[in-house]
Structure 1
Amino acid sequence: MSSHTAPAPIPATQTAPSFALLATIFLLTLLEFLQSGMIAFAAGPIMGEIGASPEEFSLTTVAYAAVAISTISKQRWLAERLGWRNFVLASLGLFILGCSICATSDSYPAFMIGRVIMGLGGAAFMTTGRVLVNLIPPSPQRFVGIKYFATGLAAGIAFAPGLASLTVAQDEWNGIFVLLMLVAAAAAVVATLSLPTALVSDDLRSQSNPVLFMSLAGGSFLMLYAIQRSQYDFFTDATMLLSIIGCGAVAMLYFFRAIRQHDRPLLGLQSLKHPRYIVGVAVFMLCYVLLGANNYILPMMLQRGLGVPWEIVGRVQTLGLSSALVAWLVMMWALPKWPGPKKFLMAGFVSLAVFGILLSRLTGDVHIWADVLPALAFNGIFLIFVMATTAMHTFRDVQHHDTVLSHAQQLKNMLAQFGTALGVASSALMLQWRSTEHYTVLVSRFENSNPIYVQTLQAVSRALAANGAGANADALAVAQLAQMVTQQATLMACVDYFAVVAAVGVLGAIAMAVQRLMK
């Protein structure tokens, strides 16, 4: 980007940032991770309340992500024309409107409309929260803004499952959206008190072509739709899915190639060609893939594989992921003394490996508090040590100008939507594949020539008969054993998944040990 076309920088506040500004940064980031974590965790109960099938509900996730990518791409464009205060207030207003529609919806179409409007408003919360840190002039005080940003991230990840399970356990699933509206309203108050209203002059504003924008929106929707459909059609119609992905990729490639010809492009990609930034975004993508996959697999393993009640699942996940907050406190204490990122990145991936190893050794006799909770704690450590460290160092070469930093954040968070969707789809496919394989092996042992099967069937039948099953005891015993086999196959598939996670952790730790960009 040439110097004569560079947009004016964000107006700076006083050296000591106001509490209202820091609270705005914290609440915007908190909202991003609360809404995604709570809705993902409570997907099952919400589907039951609005009468949606799993395919329909996952389509709402695709719609949200596609709208999010489009909105994030125009975040800087909108902020230049509205000013940061009006942009953030408009985003929060749309988010609250979408939440209110979701909270009062009793049908799938109404819920879909609400989620799309939530995406229009809330998609750029994380991008905005990080860019607003630059309202603080370059000084040690800017790190205070980073602290509030990362604390919002850690708190959102940690508290989302517990809050979601609490509302669902009280048979008030729409309380999820009421809570989000309250947090958004608080963010609107502090944003009004702290954010500037200055606009960028007309001759320095980013350019946006409606045809190119539709190409981005359409291409991202097609790719996300194909990724989502792979959970259901991968083994039956892979050619169709690949064709849709190809069409989406062509549309997005056209968008990114065309915007390079603009003097003031919607996304200044030329300014982002820094090895540190490229590697950092790749690490972020891996984190978002794992975050999406783990958010899908963990409730599946605990509920279907181990039969743990819903409320306990949320409580355990929140307690385990609270280690993210502890890990961030450790980082804040250690960074002034040992600022180098390599040790935190290595420790983070080692924690991921330990998380995978602990859960890959589970059996049906697992004790959830003694065996699962420590593993979840290592997952929280991984997320903060890797994501917070990468966030602090990825943008070092692109933060010399507010517009360049904004575009860097926008591109990273657009890719994050694909990463999360890919994580959910890939973990769902692996669970289908491995559970089917294990189920086939287990069912093959259901035969009268197997003495263990016969003894178990007879024992279950006698127990059911003693409890009043009568003549139906044998049939009920077979059905109960079939259910046990399905549960065992699900657990074994989850164990296979976590073995892969352990391997990723080991490889990641090795890669961080030998890399030279983030020392």
Structure 2
Amino acid sequence: MKAQRWQAFMHRRKQWLLMWLLGAMVGMEFLENGMFVFGSSHILGGIGVAPREFAQVQAAYAIGSMLMIALQQWLTRHFGYRHYLLIALLLYGVGDLASANATNLAELTTARLVQGMGGGAFFISTRVLIPLLFSVQQRPKAVRIYMLSIFSVGAIAPVLSAWLVDNWGWRWVFWSVLPLVGLLALGVRWLLPRHLGRSHTPVHFSVAPVLMFVLAVGCVQWSFSEARYELFDRPERLILVVLTGVLLLGLFGLHQWKHDEPLLHLRDLTHPGFLVGISLYALYYFVINFSNYLFPQFAEQGLGIPLLTTGWLNSFSAAISLVVAIFYIRYAGKVSNKRAMMMTGCTAMALACWWMSKIAPDAPVSALLGALVVKGFFGVLMVLPVAALTFRALGDKLFAKGYQSKNIMRQMMASFASAVAAVALQDSQFTEYTELMGRVTPGNQTAVAWLTQLQARFEGLGYAAGQAHGAALAELSNVVHHQAFFMACQNLYQWLALVAALAAVVVSVQRHLK
């Protein structure tokens, strides 16, 4: 009898550890990506490249991740989940180590490609493992731990990134994750059943669809990051790459539709509820990733808020999301109209973005808090109802196949949103700078008086007349540059508010997810 109780106790303990292992694994990828996006300007500045190159680095991670997600079912059937995740952790660790030691753009891009190949396995595999590892009675608890892990690291990532960059340097954004990789590898080796997910029949690998998929997403991701610059410099090359990517995606989709053992099970994913849900997911990932890139730029460079304070502000908003998520988990079952919740989330995001677009350039930190509180509702009220309703349309049998396609879309939209945000911010800043400098003419008495006073101040410090005039012009350029950046951020917040408002309209008119 004692032996049976002991075995039951050890089984419950192992199940509890498994729940936290899955949450920690997906949490690690969210933590590292959150830190990377928040500290992106410092990381890119550390290797001496322009902010626009962030789009290229993000695209590399997305390509690697989408490749691993596409191969997930083949690889798990061949190796089993334990060995598949150990390989993924090895790739992730190698990519993380290479990122920490990168000295130029090519090295960082390659490192993030490898890291993405590892990271792509975590989100999809850990979520798919929940119904495989736990009974029907245990699954709600496992899902709660899983969701809380994601929202918890969202609250930690910005402030941790800010603290590491401020005190230790940008390379520690990567170094800090390595111990977690080793710890999780031990957990996977110890806790996951050896042959879980492994097929008893041979898996027929085919190189052609893999190459077609890599080329297709590579072309699409390249067009995301380079469209703004190629459109005017070499439009014919951009058009060729876009058409090639679309053609390859079409051929890949046709191949997968007809294939008996496809990478993506497209034939099984035609339920209208699932297709609408994936579309709403895409809207959510675009808005949230655009916002995650824009806010630290706006706060630190636009408003002049110190890096660590910016991190605390970002984490404050994420902590609001965590609190809302806890309440959602407890009370959402009592709310039958999930569509109203999704509309509320989108409206909250639109309001938060509009609020940000109206903040004065000399506003105190406290002026941001209201917008950050409102923003914190978006992630929970939008994505959690979408997640529940989208996969309910498929059922347990097709859950893994649907989740695979959803995660490929997630990576593509995250990369697309970050690329659009980085390029649009730089483009808008250039436009605003050109317009502002165009107003600094001899006929503008205010600008001339300010410039004359500043020149006199430099002369009082011992500068020669010519040097003082040059220093005054340089200072004027810096002031205009800062003002242009601030105005560019607010312009983008206005556009993002419009996108969020349109998302609310889309939610209101669709009829499949209620």
Cα 1:211–1:429 shift into 2, 3 Å: same
- Determine the structure 2 residue equivalent to 1:507: 502
- Determine the structure 2 residue equivalent to 1:248: 245
- Determine the structure 1 residue equivalent to 2:374: 378
- Determine the structure 2 residue equivalent to 1:29: 26
- Determine the structure 2 residue equivalent to 1:87: 84
State the shift of 1:194 in Å: 3.1
Cα 1:208–1:44 shift into 2, 3 Å: same
> What secondary structure does 1:149 align onto?
helix
State the shift of 1:55 in Å: 5.9
- 8 Å Cα contact 1:358-1:371 kept in structure 2: no
Give matches, 1:47-86, under 5 Å.
Answer: 47-54=44-51, 58-86=55-83
Deviates more, 1:89-98 or 1:272-281: 89-98
Q: Distance in 2 between matches of 1:61 and 1:357?
A: 27
State the shift of 1:127 in Å: 0.9
State the shift of 1:352 in Å: 0.6
Deviates more, 1:506-515 or 1:247-256: 506-515
- 8 Å Cα contact 1:136-1:145 kept in structure 2: no
State the shift of 1:469 in Å: 4.8
Deviations 1:140-169 (A, max 9, x none): 532222212222221233322211111111
1:410 to 388, 404, 418: 404
- Determine the structure 2 residue equivalent to 1:444: 438
- 8 Å Cα contact 1:72-1:413 kept in structure 2: yes
Cα 1:348–1:140 shift into 2, 3 Å: farther
Deviations 1:446-480 (A, max 9, x none): 11222221232234334444555564333322221
- Determine the structure 1 residue equivalent to 2:5: none
Letter of the aligned partner of 1:124 in structure 2? A
Cα 1:187–1:388 shift into 2, 3 Å: farther
When normalised by structure 2's length, the TM-score is 0.90
Q: Distance in 2 between matches of 1:450 and 1:355?
A: 36
Unaligned runs of 5+ in 1: 1-12
State the shift of 1:80 in Å: 1.2
Cα 1:49–1:288 shift into 2, 3 Å: same
- Determine the structure 2 residue equivalent to 1:133: 130
Q: Distance in 2 between matches of 1:458 and 1:238?
A: 45
Corresponding position: 1:516 with 2:482: no
- Determine the structure 2 residue equivalent to 1:399: 395
Cα 1:494–1:109 shift into 2, 3 Å: closer
Letter of the aligned partner of 1:440 in structure 2? T
Q: Distance in 1 between matches of 2:464 and 2:375?
A: 48
Deviations 1:356-399 (A, max 9, x none): 111111221222x2222332333232122212221222111223
Deviates more, 1:94-103 or 1:275-284: 94-103
- Determine the structure 2 residue equivalent to 1:212: 209
Give matches, 1:48-447, under 5 Å.
Answer: 48-54=45-51, 58-137=55-134, 139-198=136-195, 207-338=204-335, 340-367=337-364, 369-401=365-397, 404-447=398-441
When normalised by structure 1's length, the TM-score is 0.89
Cα 1:504–1:61 shift into 2, 3 Å: closer
> What secondary structure does 1:263 align onto?
coil
Q: Distance in 1 between matches of 2:14 and 2:390?
A: 23
Q: Distance in 1 between matches of 2:237 and 2:11?
A: 56
> What secondary structure does 1:88 align onto?
helix
Deviates more, 1:54-63 or 1:373-382: 54-63
Measured on the aligned residues, the alpha-carbon RMSD in Å equals 2.6
State the shift of 1:187 in Å: 2.4
Deviates more, 1:53-62 or 1:186-195: 53-62
Letter of the aligned partner of 2:306 in structure 1? P
Aligned sequence identity (%) = 26
Unaligned runs of 5+ in 2: 1-9
- 8 Å Cα contact 2:320-2:377 kept in structure 1: yes
Deviations 1:311-362 (A, max 9, x none): 2222222222221211211212212332542232122112111111111112
- 8 Å Cα contact 2:225-2:420 kept in structure 1: no
Deviations 1:414-451 (A, max 9, x none): 11222122212323343344333333332222112222
Corresponding position: 1:461 with 2:455: yes
Q: Distance in 1 between matches of 2:299 and 2:463?
A: 29
- Determine the structure 2 residue equivalent to 1:7: none
- Determine the structure 1 residue equivalent to 2:6: none
Deviates more, 1:19-28 or 1:452-461: 452-461
Q: How many residues align?
A: 504
Q: Distance in 2 between matches of 1:490 and 1:515?
A: 38
Cα 1:101–1:422 shift into 2, 3 Å: closer
- 8 Å Cα contact 2:224-2:419 kept in structure 1: yes
